[in-house]
Amino acid sequence: MHLSLVARRRFLTLSAGAGALLVAPQMVLATVPGERRFVFIIQRGAADGLNIVVPYADPAYVALRRELAIDPAKATKLDGHFALHPALAQVGQMYGQGQALFIHAVASPYRDRSHFDGQNVLETGGTHPYAVRDGWLNRLVGLMPRATERAIAIAATVPPALRGPVPVESYAPSSLSQPSDDLMRRVGQLYSTDPQLHPLWSAALDANAAADALAVRQDAAGLGKLAATFLTKPNGPRIAMLETGGWDTHTGQEARLATQLRALDTLVSSLRDGLGTDWANTTVLIATEFGRTAATNGTGGTDHGTGSVAMLVGGAVKGGRVLADWPGLAPGQLYEGRDLRPTIGLDAVIAGAAAEALAIAPDLTSRTLFAGIPGKPQTGLVV
């Protein structure tokens, strides 16, 4: 399934949760001061970390994965233990340039296998589902100096990670017919002196113009370019969230995962190309709600698991490394006898990466984003 964003020359609805058509993935942007940029890409559906960053040197890997095992000869060798799925060709090149870092055997505190509950824990930063009402990304924006604009969601609704006390507006392409130029001019005049509506109207017009200028397609490249267009504005957003789906590979995983990863690779490389010199100040965090079973199932796929892999890419990343306290894949080493055992907290990775990416104190970031979770943030990830 290809990543997609509906972005046409249409009237933009200026209200949170507006009932307008938008096809996933969605994009959220927040304006904060400074030149550092932080992008969070969520992989909804539980991405298979064992076949994304492949532990080819683990003697149990091939026996567990059977026909789904990735041939290390066709993958990008990362070190003497891990290899990168061949579909992530551009990300593999970034790794060689020191701009990609992989953290393996990670998980949030969630230990059951419900997509909705797992995503809620990942996005809110709680210890169990629905214990926290706001999202860690909203709290992260709240740690920054007062922004000149509110956070903006190019989406019909704001995802849970950005919901909270920091104001977030959303707008999305509407299914209504294209309004006339005269109507647009009259509405602009009507809002010109309104201190609340005028900034929103201007932001909506900017979004429409950006999407139109790029002739945004319903694919990963278009979304990456659109995100970069906003992130490179002189006074524009510096924090973004992109949502991708389709990672739930119960059947036919080999082809489906390759397609997903090629789209992700295109999204990240298009974002990099669009950012230009600003890529040097950018950190992109890619994470999923939980991993998949160590063993393949009977339908050429894998089922819901626990540990997975998180990825950091960007010019600001201290890359060229795989971080892992590898637990092993032998029967006695698996979590509940079936899953990759998590040994690194995903919350610690998020807190450390976000703090270093935006030059905020790591301990303060950790306490604010993940108040109920003990432990230190994972640092040394970003320049």
> 269 Cβ partners below 8 Å, 6+ apart?
90, 91, 224
Residue 177 pLDDT exceeds 70 = no
* Domain parsing of the chain, residue ranges: 12-369
Would you place residue 205 in the very low, low, confident or very high pLDDT band (cuts 50, 70, 90)?
low
Q: Report the alpha-carbon distance of residue 376 to residue 351 in Å, rounded.
A: 9
> What are the structure tokens assigned to 28, written together?
């959220």
Under 8 Å between Cβ of 312 and 266? no
User: What percentage of the chain reaches a pLDDT higher than 90?
Assistant: 65
* pLDDT confidence band for 181 (50 / 70 / 90): low
Q: Name the more confident of 328 and 1.
A: 328
Alpha carbons 252 and 46: distance in angstroms, whole number: 15
Q: Which residues of 320-337 are buried (b: 16+ CB within 10 A; e: fewer)?
A: ebbbbebbebeeeebbee
Confidence of residue 210 (pLDDT cuts 50, 70, 90): low
- Token match 């970390």: residue? 49
Residue 272 has pLDDT above 50, yes or no: yes
Q: Looking at per-residue confidence, does 225 or 102 come out higher?
A: 102
Q: Give the per-residue pLDDT at 149.
A: 46
What pLDDT sits at residue 13? 32
- Asked if residue 350 lies in contact with residue 285, where contact means CB atoms within 8 angstroms, the answer is yes
| pLDDT value at residue 343 | 98
The predicted structure's pLDDT at residue 14: 28
CATH number listed for the domain at residues 12-369: 3.40.720
Query: pLDDT at position 147, please?
Result: 53
- Average pLDDT for residues 214-229, to the nearest whole number? 75
Mean residue pLDDT across the chain: 85
> Cβ contacts of residue 108 below 8 Å, gap of 6+?
118, 121, 122, 289, 290, 345, 346, 347
pLDDT attached to residue 213: 46
DSSP 318-369: --SEEE------SGGGSBTTTBPPP-EEHHHHHHHHHHHHHT--HHHHHHHH
**For the ranges 169-183, 208-222, 352-366, which has the lowest average pLDDT?**
169-183
Predicted confidence (pLDDT) per residue in 276-302, tens digit: 999 999 999 999 999 999 999 999 999
Give residue 87's pLDDT band: very low, low, confident or very high (50, 70, 90).
Answer: very high
pLDDT of residue 169 exceeding 70, the answer is no
Range name among 49-63, 109-123, 200-214, 364-378 with the lowest pLDDT average:
200-214
Yes or no: say if 56 and 82 are a contact pair by the CB < 8 Å rule. yes
Q: What is the pLDDT of residue 190?
A: 78
